[in-house]
Structure 1
Amino acid sequence: MEYVTLGRSGLKVSRACLGTMNFGSSEYFEGSDETEAARVIHAFLDEGHNFLDTADNYADGQSEEIVGRAVKGRRDSVVIATKGFMPHGRGPNDRGLSRLHLTRALEASLRRLGTDYIDLYQCHGWDDTTPIEETMMTLDGFVRSGKVRYLGCSNFTASQIVEAQWAAQRAGTTPFVSLQPQYSLVARNIEAEILPVCRRHGLGTAVWSPLGGGALNGRHTKNATPAADTRIGQMMASPIPIARLAAGDLVSERVLDIAEEVRKIAVELGSTPAAVALSWVRQRPGVTSVIIGPRSLDQLHGNFAGFALELPEQAAAHLERISRTPAVEPVNGMANPRLLTA
């Protein structure tokens, strides 16, 4: 098992990180039930991986609860990452990175996870309404109290990372050691500025959506409607307009052209499209850990193949070449599929 140091810290994490957004269900999303989710978590840990990622808003908090119950009895051998920022109520202080909201969010996450500490606590987004100094001092207080071990951020732009690290330096408080950005063959925006900034400011990366929201798993082809049981199929059927719009972009001509090249290479190597796409991301400079999001044990084992496969140099270079896009700095660090298909 390969472990790597997360950023400028002493924390060792596995190259594979189990993302748990698909565990539990909400009004608009049907994810894995607790029995299947626990099987996935146990199989992941039994293989020697140690890194689990969740958030307080995943399935309205059910994800954290499922993770907490699944790791009971082996908590000290697991690195649990969770996040705060998203809305939990309709009040003006029920979201964001203020001292008030983050303190409430951390305490609620600790309760749901059934633990007295979080290994990696992350800001899930940037808050324009709260001074970054207040956020970093609040997070430092969590570390000093022993309730949090390390700090990270998710979906920050390059300039936001710099602002946060400088604020921590000025105040003599705990800096971020990690970033969670979106990254895949169809979303490469972070290469222009975000990855270089992470290197300069000591942040490791745990990249999410390495399969392009499911577009690169081999199940989607041109002139075919995504199956209802796929993530993209669920997004297309969503009552939320932005979800339907994003789903359409994920099966755009450009994305499906890249998916077809991934499929061809998988056939040549006797592998699977998912394994090829995951392997490409894992081998990229600046990537510390890759977040996978299986909904079943079968999907988990399919994802494992991407961490065992070493792409030949020629295949990796071909994928790099055909997936290049103009450098665009995305809003909140999240690649906009509409920009990538322009």
Structure 2
Amino acid sequence: MTTYRKLGRSGLQLFPLGLGTMQFGWSADEKTSFEIMDAYVAAGGNFIDTADIYTTWTPGNPGGVSEEIIGRWIKARGNRDQLVIATKVRGAMGEKASEGRSTIHQREGLSRRWILKACEDSLRRLGVDHIDLYQAHWVDNQTPIEETLSAFSELVQRGYVRYLGCSNYSAWRLMEALWTSDRRGLESYVSIQPEYSLLSPTRANFERELQRVAVEYGVGVVPWSPLGGGMLTGKYRRDQPLPDSVRASENAARRFSDQNFDTVETLVSVAERHGVPTAQVSLAWLLRQPAVTAPIIGANSVDQLNELLGTVNLNLSDEDLSDISRVSDWPRARTDLEN
């Protein structure tokens, strides 16, 4: 039986793996998306993560497609009360203002004006009366954090949102937000969604400062890209030809290094000892890290999803964890060792 995990100090209980939905309406059509969500829930899953901007990067798409697909699925299945629905606000929605014009694109950011409007839009697309976890997708340098948190707090007071989170915040930005909430008596972020995986330098970027903040202040961590764009599934190997895909070229540029290939080889070895896919070992390691509640996984098919869901039944030994941690480790400064 799956043990659900608390999200930081909040009362939210999450399945150990969140279902990311960036693919919905992009690399997974609506029928496939429904099948993936059905399989996820059948396995005990309850945490579905999306964003209003999914999928604005496709031609002629103003955004909101993923939310709309999820909304139609919830209506068809009648299972709203079983789910923790998370979405995000910040990115630009609709057509952007033309370059070189003095007009400001008003359908983005973390201003009170846009947060309140964007939340109403997300509620409509999802077909729900509240959002369980509403997240700032990334920092808005043009808006004071007091304004952002005040608008978020108003949404909680109205009953439109239950909990607040953030994504892609640095340690000092997260501390600024937590301090402001405390000082002003505003609702506080209960979670952060950072990029976090075993890859270098991604692991160091999170563990150097953000991890300590999350642990000390009870902020739950729901990492995105926990498999490093597929690098940690073992499909990219040292001195082997690249698959013919855009992601392969991106990984070669961003993630191919001697240390990362050493990490992959160690993961493959541990996976063989347990008789499981390499991706499960990567995710199982993350689930043993301080403050991590539920890595967010994505899938383009039910088969891909099921391969990852097996992670919840994988128990890594102390030796496994030590081997993986050692090969993927990063240089600590003296202050890191002392604190």
Q: Normalised by the size of structure 2, how large is the TM-score?
A: 0.88
Letter matched to residue 45 of structure 1? V
Instruction: Find the aligned partners of 1:83 and 1:288 in 2 and give their Cα distance.
Output: 18
User: How far is the alpha carbon of 1:236 from its aligned partner?
Assistant: 5.2
Structure 2 counterpart of 1:53: 49
Aligned pairs, number = 312
- The 5 Å alignment of 1:58-97 reads 58-59=54-55, 60-72=63-75, 73-88=78-93, 89-91=95-97, 92=104, 93-97=106-110
Report the counterpart of residue 235 of structure 1 in structure 2: 247
1:117 & 1:55 partners in 2: Cα distance?
15
Q: 2 CA distance for matches of 1:4 and 1:269?
A: 24
Residue 257 of structure 1: how far off its partner (Å): 2.5
Q: Which residue type is aligned with residue 289 of structure 1?
A: A
RMSD of Structure 2 on Structure 1 (CA):
1.7
1:47-94 deviations in whole A, cap 9, x for unaligned? 212111000112232111111112221011100000000111424222
1:220 aligns with 2:220: no
Deviation by residue 1:72-131 (Cα, 9 ceiling, x = unmatched) = 210111000000001114242222111112122212211211112100000000111100
Matched-pair contact (CA < 8 Å) for 1:162–1:201? no
Determine the structure 1 residue equivalent to 2:215: 199
The answer to whether the Cα contact below 8 Å between 1:36 and 1:296 also exists between their aligned partners in 2 is yes
SS at match of 1:153: strand
Matches of 1:327 and 1:294, distance apart in 2 = 35
Q: Distance in 2 between matches of 1:326 and 1:98?
A: 39
CA distance in 1, matches of 2:153, 2:290: 30
> Aligned partners of 1:58 and 1:255: how far apart in 2?
29
Q: Work out which of the residue numbers 20, 30, 41 in structure 2 matches 1:34.
A: 30
Question: Aligned-pair distance for 1:247?
Answer: 4.9
State whether structure 2 residue 152 is matched by structure 1 residue 139: yes
Percent identity at matched positions? Answer: 42
CA contact (8 A) 1:85 1:96 kept: yes
Unaligned runs of 5+ in 1: 26-30, 238-243, 329-342
- Residues 236 and 94 (structure 1), Cα distance of their counterparts in 2 relative to 1, 3 Å cut: farther
Whether the 8 Å CA contact 1:7–1:204 is kept in 2: the answer is yes
Offset at residue 212 of structure 1 (A) = 1.2
2:189 aligns with 176
3-state secondary structure, aligned to 2:222: strand
Tell me which amino acid in the other structure corresponds to 1:158.
Answer: A
CA distance in 1, matches of 2:313, 2:228: 20
Task: Find the aligned partners of 1:159 and 1:48 in 2 and give their Cα distance.
Answer: 36
What code does the residue aligned with 2:39 have? Answer: A
Greater gyration radius: 2
Q: CA deviation at 1:184?
A: 1.0
Aligned equivalents of 2:13, 2:266: Cα separation in 1: 34
TM-score computed with the length of structure 1 as normaliser:
0.87
The residue type paired with residue 154 of structure 1 is S
Alignment check: 8 A CA contact 2:134 2:161 kept: yes
1:317 to 322, 327, 330: 322
Post-superposition offset of 1:252: 3.4
2:168 corresponding residue in structure 1: 155
Structure 2: how far apart are the matches of 1:263 and 1:58?
Answer: 33
Cα gap change, 1:314/1:71 in structure 2, threshold over 3 Å: closer, same or farther?
same
- Extract unaligned runs of 5+ from structure 2: 56-62, 98-103, 334-339
Q: 1:111 to 1:52 in 2, by over 3 A?
A: same
Query: Deviation per CA, 1:175-216, whole angstroms, max 9, x where unpaired?
Result: 111111111111212112111111222311111111111101
User: Which one-letter code corresponds to 2:7 in the other structure?
Assistant: L
Shift of 1:322: 0.5
Matched residues in 1 for 2:242 and 2:167: separation? 29
